[in-house]
Structure 1
Amino acid sequence: MHRINKFIQLDSASQERYSNDDLDPVPPEKRTWHARHYALFWISDNLSVSGFRQAASVMAVGLSWRLSLLCIALANIIIGSFIVINGVVGAKYHIPFSIQARASFGYYLSYLMIAMRMIVAIFWYGIQAYTGAECVQSILFAIWPSFHNVPNHLPNSANITTQFMTAYVIYFLLCLPLHYVGVHRVKWLFLAKAIATPVASLAIMGWIVHKAGLGQNSLFNQGNTVHGPALGWAFMGSLYSNIGSGVTLMVNAPDYSRYSTTKYSHLTTAVAVPFTATVITFIGVVAASGSNILFGEILWDPLLIINHWTSRGGRAGAFFCAFSFLLSQLGLNIAANSLAAANDMNCLFPKYINIRRGQFIAAFLGAWALTPWNILTSAPAFLNFMSGYSVWLGPLAGILISDFYFVHKRKYDVPELYDFQGIYRYKYGFNWRAFFAFTIGWVPLLPGFIPTVSSNTVVEGMVHLYNLGFFYGVGAAGLSYYLICYFFPAQETYVARPVYMNAGIVSEEDVESSSASEKRSA
């Protein structure tokens, strides 16, 4: 066995290290996620307040509940498949997305991609923190009914009340200890979520069906309200919107799959994601239908239904269900947002920030610097902008997948990925091939994206192209990247066989491959 010194030693010129323990490949003792853990991870991720609300926006554009269910199921089949496809990098080499990106973009251009993904994660941390505070508020209503009467001491311009700020602070304080725990040890939270949240969701559905049934006023009797070509484009627009919500998870899939015990442990994702998303969507439709009969209004938010229980004396049930959804929000914010942002900060500033510190920074920036209550109340254009961020993340995912499977044919030299003077540096740390492919993937979508954030109108065909944005972005960027690399290959980055790394240790056969790649680089 040999130690690759360039991977763990200080750079000879600057005497600074470009990695840290959290950025290094995950050592064997921390690869603790089995297939069941990935299934539980995604079950708990989808069975949430956000999952309950999924069908609302789809039915709002004119689709029936059946077509809405099909749309969401198809979107999540695509999401789950791409998470597995891109997650192979993490399961095989045990590296995060931020290191994977160097192979295709080069060291410095990858920083731009990492920063883009980090901004998304921090933003959604704040939005999900707001939802988490709603869960806390429902809990407080259940255990302390007079909390309804807490006087407001904040001005209207604050866009938040004293009552809700109290719940928000409590949620934030509950999050902080979980950011301190390593991701390889937080499996218990996903297990608790995977047990409690389905029970709570089924309890809400069961109560609705028992009390209201599914009569003539039910959403189940509502057909499509749009027809012909308009129906087709409404379906595609909703499909793109739902896929877009999962693009960040496709991009940072290696951040989670790197902890897998085997190369195949994360494959359960492909089944768990679409199954749970479809189930929770169906439950949401049932609950919304019954709420229309019981309360005279369609309630897509399970927390609003829970709050009705409190006023009717069902405080124990309200507490349990609200607490279950609180667990869901805690885990969701860690899995989808704080951990992703922390991995990105860890790569950008490895000398100063590890995953633990990065999670705390992301938490404070997302929850407080962005003031999500202002965004949700008075900045709908900005919210639409962030929801359409997949315009850029889709092409990014396409290039990552194309590079791994078709350009480098699943053969990476891991020590070289950590060497700033290594074979993946490209010229000036910038791979022009990836830059051009990335540009091809998002620029044509921009005209169709504009109407979502402004009142400007564009040609209808551009809007239709935007509704096909995920397929275009991933396909155009991935294909163009492959073709550019085919005609203008970066030969120095191709290795004869993969080179693995376990805490700086490489086997004899991998050292031979590493030596060969170094000779080609020279």
Structure 2
Amino acid sequence: MESFNEKSDSPSAGGTVDVAAGSSLEVDAAPVYSNWLERLKAALQVEQQPGTFAPGRWSNADLDPTPPEQQTWTTMNFIFYWLNDAIAPGNLRLGSSLYTVGLSWQLCLVIIALGHFLMAIGLTLNGAVGSRFHIPYTIQSRASFGIYFSFVVVVIRMVVAAFWYGINTYTGAQCVHVILVALWPQFTNLHNALPASANTTTQMMVSYIIYFLFVLPFHWIHPRRLRWFFAIKSLLCLPAIFGILIWACVTTGNGVDNPVFHRGSILHGSELGWAFMSGLNAMLGNYGTLAVNINDFTRYARRERQTWVQFVIIPTSFMLMALFGLIIVGSAERIYGELQWDVLSIMNSWNNTTKGRVGAVFAAGAMVLAQMGTNLGANCVSAANDLNAMFPRYINLRRGSFLIAFIGAWALTPWNILASADALLTFMDGYVVWLAPITGVLLADFYLVHNQFYKTRDLYDPKGRYRYNRFGTNWRAVVAWTVGWMPLLAGLANSINSANKITVGTEHFYSLGYMYGMSVSFVVYTGLNYAFPANLTMASDD
């Protein structure tokens, strides 16, 4: 990788003032602004630190390649990063999401492990760009999609991140609600001053505000320093998970003597096969978003091989979380006489006794931390990087994190989405149809088209080799990406509204959406580049 220690091309702030004939004196010239708008823009502008690759609107210190002194992530940091993502209330429900379809618990675990292992392969291979060139996804995407069209795929990733940030914030508020009820049982009697049209209650909004205010200061932590938070969160939350698991095992005798482990698959033949493939596709899409932007984190790695641990830690951690979830909910069914897939509902059931309330506070408190860590790692950092790439003069990673917090948690009003927008939730679940072909293009471009080499400085140059044409667009990437998602739209529309009549074949095809999107875009992009090579980008990189 070439050096990036050149001086910035931005003009100096200093000036020269004549104080006498034939002499001069350097002084700091105070900038002169003609109106209030210019003064506001100057105040908001992110300071350009020395060494930036491109001045002005194309880069800032957070967007530049990570300098050696900031490449501080080790193998252990990546282990804790994925433990941080895996330990969350939603991942305890991974097994149940497949079990309710009619699969046995054994098949559920096989699907979860296999799906996350396959996803880990693509994710780790793509992450090599970050660990080798130390650039984020937003810069990487310029090499394949072109310097201008890359903003399209950046926005696509940002939208889904902001959406899920809001949804996960509401889940965190539900954890706070459990704590408030346990500490103050009369909280459930709090008068609801909100109308039915608000789609939430006063209780939940109080919990929501408390959770948001608790989480907000953590957005100040720079992403490269979040490694410490991820480690602390994992070490604090694991005992809580094991505590809930021990409760389940002790209360029922051994934990495995529950209805979940006594029922086999109720599907057979081709129906079982397609349920298996559909579940596998869902697991691939579970963290398919991070397969796109994993370089937002691998850019901080000291060495490329330190990211290889993801091959093991990703499938192992998610499979274990799913297994723990199946044991917990199955035991709860024996104890309470009804199936409760949500661990938060189980914690609410503990509030009948003083000892149970203490346990609820401890477990729900850990879930607050768990949900916050997952939301920061999986959604906030990626969206902040996207905003940073689109407005580098005004937004750095810290500002982007705070903006996403307010956009996702308040502007998108997740309580309205969860209460009355089932179609939107289904659409966002299927949003991965646009992300999978992006991953395919990124992988093909790096490993086959550019032979694992990028000229880093040109990724920051709007007139460099990655401009492709006067529109700043690589049509080969656009075609490959479109071929990867367009055939899946009929299946996505049917999943949103079953009144849309489609054939069984189309429905099954949609069940293979992630695998189709990534593989087809990979093949098409590679073929187009060899058939119609882009001379500027295929030239020798000397």
TM-score, scaled to structure 2: 0.89
The one of 132, 139, 142 equivalent to 1:92 is 132
More deviation in 302-311 or 451-460? 302-311
Determine the structure 2 residue equivalent to 1:69: 109
**Post-superposition shift, 1:266?**
1.6
Q: What is the distance in 2 between the residues matched to 1:45 and 1:116?
A: 22
Match of 1:155 in 2: 195
Q: Which moved more, 1:214-223 or 1:15-24?
A: 214-223
Q: Give the CA deviation at 1:4.
A: 6.3
Q: Deviations over 1:233-271 (max 9, x none)?
A: 111111112211211110001000001111122221221
* 2-structure distance, mates of 1:3, 1:82: 29
Aligned counterparts of 1:225 and 1:37: Cα–Cα separation in 2 = 41
Q: Residue 472 of structure 1 aligns to which amino acid in structure 2?
A: Y
- Report the structure number with the largest CA radius of gyration: 2
Does residue 298 (structure 1) correspond to residue 298 (structure 2)? The answer is no
Aligned-pair distance for 1:495?
A: 5.5
Q: d(CA) in 2 for partners of 1:365 and 1:488?
A: 42
Q: Residue 120 of structure 1: which of 160, 167, 188 is its match?
A: 160
- Name 2:82's counterpart in structure 1: 42
Which 10-residue stretch deviates more, 16-25 or 93-102? 16-25
Q: 2:487 aligns with which of 414, 422, 444?
A: 444
1:148 Cα deviation from its structure 2 partner: 2.2
Does 1:382 pair with 2:420? no
Residue 98 of structure 2 corresponds to which residue in structure 1? 58
CA-atom RMSD, angstroms?
A: 1.9
Task: Give the Å deviation of 1:216.
Answer: 6.7
1 CA distance for matches of 2:458 and 2:96? 47
Shift of residue 9, structure 1, vs aligned partner: 2.1
Name the residue aligned to 2:28: none
1:317-336 equivalences in 2 (<5 Å): 317-336=359-378
Which residue of the other structure, out of 332, 335, 342, is the alignment partner of 2:384? 342
Q: Which residue does the alignment assign to 2:401?
A: 359
Cα separation, partners in 2 of 1:5 and 1:216, compared to 1, 3 Å: closer
Provide the identity percentage. 44
- Counterparts of 1:105-144 in structure 2, within 5 Å, are 105-144=145-184
Moved more, 117-126 or 353-362: 353-362
Distance in 1, matches of 2:3 and 2:303, equals 23
Match of 1:453 in 2: 496
Q: 1:507 — aligned with what?
A: none
Residue 296 and residue 7 in structure 1: after superposition, are their counterparts in 2 closer, same or farther (change >3 A)?
farther
- CA–CA separation in structure 2 for the residues paired with 1:15 and 1:81: 36
**Cα pair distance change 1:357/1:135, threshold 3 Å:** same
CA distance in 2, matches of 1:226, 1:477: 33
Partner Cα separation in structure 1 for residue 157 and residue 387 of structure 2: 10
Structure 2 match to 1:9: 9
Q: Which consecutive residues of structure 2, in runs of 5 or more, have no partner in the other structure?
A: 12-53
DSSP-derived class of the 2:394 partner? coil
Separation (CA, whole Å) in 1 of partners of 2:74 and 2:272? 42
Aligned counterpart, 1:192: 232
**Aligned residue for 1:469?**
513
Corresponding residue SS for 2:466: coil
Offset, 1:15? 7.5
2: CA distance, partners of 1:360 / 1:252: 19
Which residue among 311, 314, 320 is the counterpart of 1:270?
311
Larger displacement relative to structure 2 (319-328 or 214-223): 214-223
Partner of 2:46: none
In the other structure, the counterpart of 2:209 is: 169
- Secondary structure class of the residue paired with 2:193: coil
Provide the C-alpha distance between the structure 2 equivalents of 1:353 and 1:200, rounded to a whole number of angstroms: 37
8 A contact 1:411–1:496 mirrored in 2:
no
Contact 2:219 2:398 in 1 (8 A): yes
Query: Does structure 1 conserve the Cα–Cα contact (< 8 Å) formed by 2:57 and 2:391?
Result: no
Give the structure 2 partner of residue 401 of structure 1.
443
* Matching residue's letter, 2:454: Y
Q: Deviations over 1:313-356 (max 9, x none)?
A: 22222211111111111111111111100100111111111111
Offset of 1:6 from its aligned partner? 8.8
Matched, 1:218 2:259: yes
Does residue 417 (structure 1) correspond to residue 459 (structure 2)? The answer is: yes
Give the equivalent residue in structure 1 for 2:476: 433
- Is the 1:208–1:286 contact (alpha carbons within 8 Å) kept by the matching residues of 2? yes
In structure 2, the residue corresponding to 1:424 is in which secondary structure?
Answer: helix
Q: Determine if contact 2:2/2:456 at 8 Å carries over to the other structure.
A: no
Shift of 1:27: 1.1
Deviation at 1:307, TM superposition (A): 1.8
Change (3 A) 1:7 1:449: farther
CA deviation map 1:436-484 (0-9, x unaligned):
1111111111112211111212011111111111111111001000000
Q: Which runs of 5+ in 1 are unaligned?
A: 498-512, 514-522
Describe the superposition over 1:352-380 as per-residue Cα deviations: whole angstroms up to 9, x where unpaired: 11111111111111111111111111101
Q: Which amino acid aligns with 2:465?
A: I
Q: 1:149 Cα deviation (Å)? A: 2.1
Separation (CA, whole Å) in 2 of partners of 1:148 and 1:244: 37
The 2-side partners of 1:171 and 1:133 are apart by: 5
Cα distance in 1 for residues equivalent to 2:55 and 2:515: 45
The aligned amino acid for 1:20 is: N
User: Quick one: distance in 2 between partners of 1:7 and 1:336?
Assistant: 34
| In 1, Cα distance between equivalents of 2:8 and 2:446 | 24
- Match of residue 537 from structure 2: 493
Matched position secondary structure for 1:107: coil
